[in-house]
Amino acid sequence: MLTDVRALIGCYLRIALAGFHRYATYRQATVAGAATNIVFGLIRVGILAAVYTAQGGGSVGGYDLTTTVTYVWLGQGLLSIVEFWGGTELTNRIRTGAVVVDLSRPWNPQAALLAEDTGRAGFAALARLVPPVLFGMVVFPFRWPDNPWVPVLFLVSALLAMVVSFGARFLLSLTAFWLLDSRGVLGVYQVVSSTLAGLEIPLGYFPGWARTALWFTPFPAMLQSPIDVFVQHGSAVALLVHQVVWAVLLLSLGQLLLRSAVRKVVVQGG
């Protein structure tokens, strides 16, 4: 029993490591990506700073200027951990029929993909989160947490954000079993999700009713939550609980949908 559990953990841990390694092989893309994140961070800081100047200082949506700037840099860093815009691999594998390989292994396909995505996110944390945040810290005023637990909670929240995002993308990717091609669905999702998660502007800037409505969606849990945990905006416990609930919900739905996909639907190609 115990050796079984150990083997099980060993298996998914290995897959996660392979995910890390896979993405680590693309060095140039990583450097280019981190640089792009910083450039877009500069643009966003410029725009949001103009909002504050126009308003004559103070706070907008519950954030002062320093917190907003910090928000931008954390967001730019988290972006590639959460990966709103990538993650079309599973859809493509379903569309081309390569998914038969995933279904022929002695593993839970969802768990295996999650493990791999966690490895990828681990690499992204080192190579893509650190540079923009470091840049922001050094060059701009930065909202430092006031106790040492905050960064730890931030990392936990970032991991949950990644899991929630994975759960949503996994569900959408599975629609390829029925639609044959879910790139359209994913395309719409990619545009909508990052905005609703608070990437372009903090959700605090949204009207009150929209903010309330958004808490009934998983989107804030994908980006806004870890940032809010870091800048200590709102209750960290409430934010984390919201994330956990969505992570569990989306993963379970994914598991159910996968089961019925395999049962009822087709796997393409010879």
Ligand X SMILES: Nc1ncnc2c1ncn2[C@@H]1O[C@H](COP(=O)(O)OP(=O)(O)O)[C@@H](O)[C@H]1O
Residue ranges binding other proteins (CB under 8 A) = 7, 10-11, 14-15, 18, 21-22, 25-26, 97-98, 100-101, 103-108, 112, 262-263, 266-267, 269-270
Residue 98 binds Mg ion (CB under 5 A): no
Q: Which is nearer to ligand X, 13 or 180 (CB)?
A: 180
Supply the minimum distance, in Å, between the C-beta of residue 21 and ligand X.
33
**How does DSSP classify residue 215?**
T
Binds 268, which of ligand X, Mg ion, other proteins, none (CB < 5 to 8 A, cut-off by type)?
Answer: ligand X
Handedness of CA 227, 233, 238, 242 (dihedral sign): negative
Q: Which does 104 bind (CB under 5 to 8 A by kind): ligand X, Mg ion, other proteins, none?
A: other proteins
Phi, psi (deg, nearest 5) at residue 263 = -75, -50
User: Closest separation between CB of residue 178 and ligand X, Å?
Assistant: 12
Helix axes 89-96, 183-196, angle to 10 degrees: 170
Q: Can you state the angle between helices 109-124 and 236-264, rounded to 10 degrees?
A: 140
Distance CA 101, CA 111 (A): 15
Residue 180, interface with ligand X (CB under 6 A)?
no
- Nearest distance from residue 25's CB to other proteins, in Å? 5
CB of residue 173 to ligand X, shortest distance in Å: 17
**Any contact of residue 96 with Mg ion (CB under 5 A)?**
no
Cα 152 from Cα 161, distance rounded (Å) = 14
The Cα 227–Cα 158 span in angstroms is: 8
268 is an interface residue for ligand X by CB under 6 A: yes
| 3-class SS letters over 83-143 | CCCCCCHHHHHHHHCCHHHHHCCCCCHHHHHHHHHHHHHHHHHHHHHHHHHHHHHHHCCCC
**Coil, helix or strand at residue 63:** strand
Build a one-symbol-per-residue string for 227-266: x at contacts with ligand X by CB under 6 A, - elsewhere: ---------------------------------------x
Nearer to other proteins, 14 or 212 (CB): 14
For 148-184, b/e burial (b = at least 16 CB within 10 A) is eebeebbebbbbbbbbbbbbbbbbbbbbbbeeeebee
Q: By CB under 6 A, how many residues form the interface with ligand X?
A: 4
Q: Shortest distance, CB of residue 269 to other proteins, whole angstroms?
A: 8
Nearer to other proteins, 57 or 106 (CB): 106
Residue 194 Cβ vs other proteins, minimum distance, rounded to whole Å: 26
Binding site for ligand X (CB under 6 A): 266-268, 270
